[in-house]
Copies of this chain bind each other. A is one copy, B any other.
Amino acid sequence: MFNTRSKSRRAPQGFQPPQRGALPQGRAAAAHGWSSNSQLHPFTRKDENSRLFHYEQKVKQAFAEIEPTLRMLSAAQHEADFVGRAQALVKSELGLELPESLLVDSWIKPLDIGRLYAWCVFETFRQMSDEFFDTRPLADADDFEFQRFLEQCGFHTLDVSPCADGRLAHVIRYVLRLPYKAVRRKSYAGAMFDVEDSLQKWIETEMLRHREGSPNQAAVPTRYLKAAVYHHSSSKPESEGCAAHGSDTQKAAAAALAKLQAFRQSVENGFCCGASIDLLLIGMDTDNDVIRLHLPDANGEMDVDRYVDAIDLFNATRNSSGLDAEAAVKRYLEDMSLACGVSQPTAGMMRLSARLLCGNLSQIDYVRQYHGGCYSDIGHQERFIGMGIGFEEVQLRNLTYFAYLQTVEEGAKDMDVGIKIFTGLNARRGLPIPVVIRNDYHGQVPGARDRAEARCHQLDNALRNRFRDFADRGLLHTLLMVRDCQNDGMAEVVGSSLDLQQQEAH
């Protein structure tokens, strides 16, 4: 209903109207005892939910319509005036203008649907990306407020490593309701982040605090906070959990906790003067975005089996006054700690945890309002793989499998999982796997753009080399992009396996 664009469209004469690539509808609402009409939780931010859904619906619909539209094109490829009518259809359905070179020889040989598909995915992403940096649809007025809040809680940096799984790609902005600009996100298969890479980020952060007083002075007793987000599926725990951990929730949680502890130990043993960091482990049910927060104790220790389930909190507080949400959640957490006989975390960690859980309450209602309490696409439904460094504009669920990496060699495990997922989603059906390769750079550093571009090509070659059988069969296509993250501009296309003038259509 938000997709107003498609309402006014009409299929060009002679074409069958496409099978609307309708978004998956919430299933089993009744089974969960929820419906979109039931009363919202008093802490739920209704307006924000509406704004987030409008954006999600619009973007995901654009991707969802690609395949039905191409099916129409395929059926009509031998009709008279095909090129003109194809362009009209694609314009009306997808809002895109195809490069002529993909169409003109359709009277000689069959349309190359694989290339058309990849082109449409890349172009849809490019438009989405441009719009994101242009209109800031998910901007949060509270970027600075959150940084101040974080520092009040005793942290100067929040660095989150979720699983690379696309069903967690919205964890920052949607599931936890955090401003994406104020949080570092680096995704790895199974949340198995690279300790050395995190260590380097810690070193850089501390250096900037000392040298430049950014984000705060080194003398302020705040710490770097590293969080890892693992996941599971409550409805299909055996098959729709984390692929990197064999869909074993316990294993996923324990592995993420071990990584966090290894990072902390690296800081503590590698540097003197009481160097340390704080840790937070979060689990997430990908069916309904309900989180489990493993509240640390007074010593910062967590337990895989000890967590606060946001759904319990949701139910326990649903009759609250709605006046001071975070205070109410904090009281709940304090009571929980007391009841478990576990020491309480620091006051700051308690405040932050309350805020994260409070944000999640809105998201629980979001899934209830717009997805019947449980996503229809509880399994993988990503549209493309994103690899490299960047992708600030990807904050939506099940759109992108995202692997943060500097080289395919180091990120091989992450890419193997991604390609396996997309073999099921695309390649097995004959559709290519679209991979967007991205490198953000700091524009004020001379040569940085060239190096980012060179790195894109290096990743492209390495990807093609590792998955040569896919590439050789035309089942792997790539789009190469760089972005100056310093001036906060748009991302730029610097290459593509499609070897077309990407800008031809504009």
Contacts and interface: CB of A to CB of B under 8 A. Distances in A.
A196 B266 CA distance: 22
B270 A445 contact: yes
B200 A211 contact: no
Contacts of A262: 446-447
Interface stretch (A168-176, A407-415, A423-431): A407-415
Given A206-B211, A266-B445, A451-B196, A458 B218 contact: no
A487 interface: no
Main secondary structure of the interface of A (DSSP, over half): helix
Interface of A: 195-196, 200, 203-204, 206-208, 210-212, 218, 262, 265-266, 269-273, 275, 406-410, 412, 442, 444-448, 451, 458, 462, 465
A271 B408 CA distance: 29
Nearest to A263: B447
Nearest to A258: B447
Nearest to A443: B269
A412 B455 CA distance: 12
A273 to B, nearest CB: 6
Nearest to A447: B262
A210 B272 CA distance: 12
A210 B203 contact: no
A212 B270 CA distance: 11
Nearest to A204: B203
Contacts of A409: 407-409, 458, 462
Contacts of A273: 211-212
B444 A269 contact: yes
B212 A210 contact: no
A399 to B, nearest CB: 27
Contact of A195 (B200, B204, B408, B447): B447
Given A206-B210, A212-B272, A406-B407, 13 more contacts: A195-B451, A203-B204, A206-B211, A210-B211, A210-B218, A211-B275, A212-B271, A262-B446, A265-B445, A270-B445, A407-B409, A408-B409, A409-B409
A458 B196 CA distance: 15
